[in-house]
Structure 1
Amino acid sequence: MILPREHETPFNKAPVIRAVAALLMVIAILSAVTRIVTRLLTVGAFKKDDQLVAAATVVVIAQSAAVISQGANGLGKLESLGPEQVSYILKSHYASDILYIAALLLSKVSATRTLWGMAPRERRKAIWAIEALIAAWASSSILAALFQCSLPQPWDFVHGQCFNRSIFWIYVDALNIVTDLAITGILVEMFIKLKTSTSKKILVISVFGCRIFIIPPIVSHMYYFKRIADSPNPLFDMWQPTVIVQVIQCLSIMATCIPYLKPFMDSLNSGQMAAGDYRGTRSKGSNSRSQSAYASARMSRPPRSLRGTGAGITSIATRASHRLQKYEMMDMSANHDRAGGVEENITTVTAGNKEDASNSPNNRSWDGQSHTSQTVLVQSTWRVDVEESGKDENYATAANTK
């Protein structure tokens, strides 16, 4: 239905409500789409935090539609409204309050799930605690919003008997601020330890910590809602808190999506900065420097069964693009089987390319110190049963050059 064109006046704020709600809804949708497309292009997966953002965006669309319909039916107008209009506004406002809290819940949990993927193990208990606080806050707020006024019309805050709604929104907004500060605090504590320049630290903390910019609108909502608590024209004076709620909702979605903008993702993927175990931020076909170092450390560590045997284990770094490899199988230790008289030989396979076959120390040290070459360290251990041939020691050597 196309509404007749209205202009904002001191006595009619309905056009402002409709315009702001529609504009901020579009911004939230674009932010979510940008994040999801960026993740699909760089990671190729639709992860749990992305699913939560998508769900939050759907809730935002429903909430914004309810607010737009309120403006279309007279919310923000100082003129007298008919009973049907008042009833429709109150019901839509009742639904929009619940959807607003649900949207905040989903966006906050998405942020904590993103934190979970980056945080080391010792910080995950704190993330669990924040998620528990968010769940308790949202569930209690939604439950209170459902029964804010007496039955059978819990949405009628104009003519019904309701609890103190200003105190209720102070509770909702105060814990909204606390949870945002908790999420931002963990982010800052994690990224302040980045091994990079101060400018890059500031960039990362600013991008991931932009959630603090939601706090001023939340404080404004507390102030304006308290002002209209005893207003003689609540359906007109509600236009300011309603607009501020749309701003808070949109900023919550944007704060969750801003870190996934393409230029910032490219900066992370280039290896210029890394924060702990930053999963899911590397592009297809490329490895970050931190993951290469971690893989090298894990793969170059000898298995427990070979420690203390005095046998040296050699790992040769090779270029990933090289197809020519040589496999050497050498007897590392021998254990006699008591029952069948079979020897168990534990062997180690070392993968390397032809140019490193000479095991030149210069070549290995240069490749180990290079920050640009991509290397793969391969070490495999398995058991080979060799029938006893009368000798105490058996050696097996196999070479395969592709």
Structure 2
Amino acid sequence: MSTERDRYPDALRAGALLVVVLGHWLATLPRLEAGYLVDTDHLLVVWEGAGVFTWVVQVVPLFVFVSAAVSAVGVRRRLSDGHRQLHWWAGRALALARPTVTYLAVLAAVAMVSRLMEGRFLAPFNHSLTIHLWFLLMLLGVQALLPLSVRVDRRLGLRAVWLLVATAAFIDLLRARPGSPADLLRLGELATDHATLLGWLNLLVVWLLPQQLGIAWRQGRFTGTGTGVTFMALGLVWLGATVASGYPLAMVDGEVGGRSNLLPPTLALVGVMWLQVGTVLACEAPARRLLARRPIRRAVTLLGALGMPLYLWHKFAELPAAWLGERLGAPIDAGVPGEAGFWWGRLVWLLLCLLMVTPVMAAVVAFEMRRRRDLVSATAGRAVVGGGVALFAGILASMALGALPGALVGLAGVAAASWLLRVHPQPR
């Protein structure tokens, strides 16, 4: 039996992270006055129609789907041993906590120096430099429930998927509180207009859905190009119907607050999942033929190794990109979507971000490779739980408070998590 690593899931994860990075850069709209950066806008705030692009660039469900498919087999072997399950999750948490410590430490230092020198570059990017860390929280949260999802798949199969879909729909229905059957045609409008605590239950339900789908795919419960095309068609119809009922067009948020498909997740976001899972199935055969070529496999391996560091640091690279754009007099000012030069300016901005992220990534990779690789503590369950709580609290604080003081406050929590989760040498 061949033991060669399956590169298709690796390629999907690497591609998903690249799409997120490029999407974040594209959505950042620098604003200049007299040639100097004074602010940034978000593409979705100034151009509502751009929300349709998020049907493609909202690839977090794809990442959860693939991660669950890759991890499901190992989790099945650990189902009878709760200690091994906890140890596995602690390894995932430590693998994310350590590079996040580096990111927050550098960001905190830059933020404090900028404040002391009355720098103006940090303020336009302040919250955007930490808000993308939400992905780490969501990923670790659903992975903590991966053993439960595997058990549910073993017992219910694909019925578990439809049960989650029905639960998400029921929660949105309770949010909407329709007064008549005619109100069901305005389900999305009513649901997203009512910011109730009940809606936050879908934070768990909706993000567990791609995980359950990934496990089912790994178990061969659905496969084939025909199934993929069917899922893609279902996704497009689903998205069209939910948007027509009043759900927002965009599947990501341009700003916190207001009507949203993400905070909390809604039934509309499920349409993106059908679309992405269908694309995975429809593209599997040609993608595997491409991955049989050694240069393609090497590129996927490299992107896979750089994927998470790139995700952590890509927003940071916007700072030197803006500085260089100013110095070169590049047309990075976004102007108004639809005006002449808008897309040319976006291309220039993307090229500057790519240029400046290269030395950032080189420095980060060189630093991480010199660090000693820590092992996860296999003895103290309370230390793992404490590390998880500290990690979540630190990331939440950094997201809420921005680069300053959020990076400094968050660093304390994430550093504590990294310390709690790893093995400590015992004194002789």
TM-score above 0.5 = no
Relative to the length of structure 2, the TM-score reads 0.23
Structure with larger Rg: 1
Q: Higher strand proportion, which one? A: 1
